[in-house]
A and B are shown apart, each in its own frame.
Chain A
Amino acid sequence: MGVPMVRITLNRVYAVRDHWSLSASGTFNEGVHLVSGDVGSGKSTLALMMAELLPLSGGDIEREEITTSMLSLQFPELHVTALSVAEECASWGVTPDEILDAVGLTGKKEASPLSLSRGELKRLHLACVLAKDYDLLLLDEPFSSLDCEEKVKLCARIGQKSQGICVIFTHEQNILPRVNRIWEIVDGTLVDCGIPPDAFQHWRHVPPVIERLTALGSPPDNISRDDFLEAICRIQG
């Protein structure tokens, strides 16, 4: 008997607001998924619907073998539920010392989480979220407020995840992890672009570096920086 596969399926899911709508259909299997789209296209709304935190205007979501799920909101302040950094770590069920050392915030245990800069708070929040394994992990704009170095570290951390579904909702174009499938929201509809590198042909939000490498006859295999470097090396022989 095989290991049960986690899977989340969106069946004609849609959300409607005053003059705006979003519709989504598709299956997210185990692995890392990227959902791209313009600002205001509905990425956060889709993330909230997949996390069952926002009622659907129609359709339904099937969750198979998903027992634990987590959504990281775009703005880390909104997750703050404690008055000190140590208490905030504890509220995520993680040991403060380990996490604070890992994100370079040692000595700020007693500080208010809101006294940290947006970047520091985002680092702390993501470290707390990624400290545990979830069957479904939804990351809404995880790269916002992070500098290049931290974005690279985050990509590496996401790449280490060996189980479950991880969906990244972002409009980041430069520093991304290797992904198993690419999706995008175009004109209020979720579109399945497919598996990289074939997905690049249909991906409207394709990063400029991929377009350039493809034009030079050396498309990358995936969307991480290592893949870009490998494609550049191919050009240079």
Chain B
Amino acid sequence: MQDPRIRIAVAAVLSLAAFISLQGAAAVFLWWLVFTPRLQLVKRIRLVLSLLLMIAFFSLVLELFGGGGLSYFTRMTVIVLIGMWLFSEQKSGEFLSIGVWLFGDRAGFELGMVAEMGMQSLVAVTTDLDRIRMAEKIKGMQWEVRSLVPAGLVLVHGALARAEDTAELLAIRGYQHGGTLCPKFFTRRMDIVAGIFSLCILIFALIPVSEFFILYR
């Protein structure tokens, strides 16, 4: 999807639809199958597996102690798939463009810049984590719970160092507030089609299907 405005709006609408009801989650899953590169995405983003494992754990606890765990797992899994699609499609500079388009050169620019920095930091942390695991392999160590504390410290240390560097860089350049940018967006016909379908899914998710079937009987 080319247009980041539609992409983010679609992701928000679909996440809401999937969270509201099971039938909404099923429809969102169908949308995901039709409008995204599907399995290529799953292969590229390895974090998904650990996220799904975490959701599975909480779902199991929910199922054992209160019920509804399966429904929770299904809905959250679909939301993760949508989030994964959004993350993989995101390109550098898009948040800045959207921020300026929405809120102008001052607050919009600043919000967009903060979001860009957040995304950059996320990518950097993922790369660092990969390298840390490689470094442990080099030393012949196994990835285990005991490794988490030093690895976490290295990740936090790296993130703080990068934040400090960025702050210094902005200060050196004399940055005070806001900035100018002329955002440009390219909208394909398929973006609009996918957007319309996402709205239809939200409406479908809001329909009380069970009551409809009672009436039918």
Contact = CB atoms under 8 A, between A and B. Distances in A.
A53 interface: yes
A92 B150 contact: no
A78 B131 contact: yes
Interface in A103-146: 112, 114
A77 B154 contact: yes
Interface stretch (B57-65, B103-111, B135-143, B206-214): B135-143
Contacts of A79: 135, 138-139
A70 interface: yes
Interface residues of B, number: 18
Interface string A48-90: 1001010000000000000000110101011111110000000
A51 B139 CA distance: 12
Contacts of B131: 73, 75, 78
A51 B138 contact: yes
Main secondary structure of the interface of B (DSSP, over half): helix
B138 A71 contact: yes
A71 to B, nearest CB: 6
Contact of A81 (B150, B157, B158): B150
A77 B149 contact: no
Nearest to A74: B131
B153 A114 contact: yes
B128 interface: yes
Nearest to A79: B135
B196 interface: no
A83 B149 contact: yes
B11 interface: no
A81 B128 contact: no
Given A77-B158, A81-B150, A114-B157, A70 B134 contact: no
Contact of B154 (A48, A51, A80): A80
A53 B150 contact: no
B134 A81 contact: no
Interface of B: 128, 131-132, 134-139, 141, 147, 149-151, 153-154, 157-158
Given A70-B138, A91-B141, 15 more contacts: A51-B138, A53-B137, A71-B138, A73-B134, A77-B157, A77-B158, A78-B131, A78-B134, A78-B135, A79-B135, A81-B135, A81-B136, A81-B139, A83-B153, A91-B139
